[in-house]
Amino acid sequence: MQLPRPSNGCSASSSGRLSMLSFTSSPTTTINVRRPPRRSMQDSYRPVRPARGYMLALLAATCWASGGLTAKWLFTTASDATAHWPVPPLGIAIEPTVLSGARAVSAFVILVLWLLVTRRGAFKIAAPDVPFLAAFGVIGLAGVHFTYFMTISLTNVATAILLEYLAPILVLIVGVMFLGHRFTWALPVGVALSVLGCAFVVGALGGDGLVVSSAGLAWGLASAVLFAFYSLMGSVAASRFTPYTMLVYGLGFASIFWMLWLGPSAILSVFSDVKTAGAVLFMAVVSTVVPFSAFLLALRDIPPTNATVASTIEPMLAAVGAFALFRESLSLTQLMGGVLVIAAIIVVQLPGRETVSPLPPPD
């Protein structure tokens, strides 16, 4: 591209994301446009608000823990052991998969109604985006719950939780090997601390211990893979979609999955009882819409490895909640596990705080 020469020879340049502009002493001026260097995935996280990212990840973990406590209250049958509970248990006989499907469908309806009032632009997507969002909903949302419940049915809760929270290891490996994330000493140390802490909290290294079968191990590892898939997909798509767009379409496709798997009648039967319906709606908001939105928002501020490490505080929060609400025992081993998880969250924050650049907002 040629422009008339300015009256006085001069040169100007800019670095980073701006182009290079050069004025020469020749009769014409040449503008050389230099493409900005490609950024790695790790370079897309803003250093100025990491605290917000960790707070959002911790909010997600807190809400997920509340969902587990609500499910315990929902499923437990009244007895002498529950006489001291602040609210009598419901003792509802409902399959966990049916509860998960009803929760997903309820969360989808609630989120759609809220977005119609506040953020109608969240529904705008292009046709080529549909397969990605469908995979996110079916694999990343419905798939995680389905494999988790299958693991519980074949092992026990401690084994299912521990296997699912192997996800940070997978996120770290995939991120470094395929997505250009930086590898620093703090990341594997933090991941190891979080997994070890989770093992202490759920009683894998004491208490009932692990119950392992080949089928249970396979389903448990599948739940870890799908949780890692959810985290990485949310990270990759953070600059393409708002968290609300991802979540509303993800829940929509997850709802379709549950409707096809369970049948509409099974899901609708949950709402035949007022108390059960109220509990499901509470879980739809507090343990689905809020935490999944918060986790996706966190992925705009911190890398997925860090976010998944922070989420491993969930079992500890659930244990503390069960101690406060249901007077369950809280052992020294569990407290030690919680300390290890907190240490892991601190450790993964140590490296590279000054070397990352902001993530641009989605179009």
pTM over 0.85: no
What is the rounded end-to-end Cα distance, in angstroms, of the chain?
Answer: 29
Phi, psi of 91 (to 5 degrees): 65, 40
pLDDT exceeding 90 applies to what percent of the chain?
52
Highest mean pLDDT among 6-20, 99-113, 339-353: 99-113
pLDDT at 209: 62
Q: Which of 3-17, 52-66, 125-139, 148-162 is the least confident region?
A: 3-17
Burial of 173 (C-beta count, 10 Å sphere; 0-12/13-18/19+)? middle
Give the model's confidence band at 149: pLDDT under 50 very low, under 70 low, under 90 confident, else very high.
confident
Distance CA 247, CA 140 (A): 11
Contact 234, 296 (CB under 8 A): yes
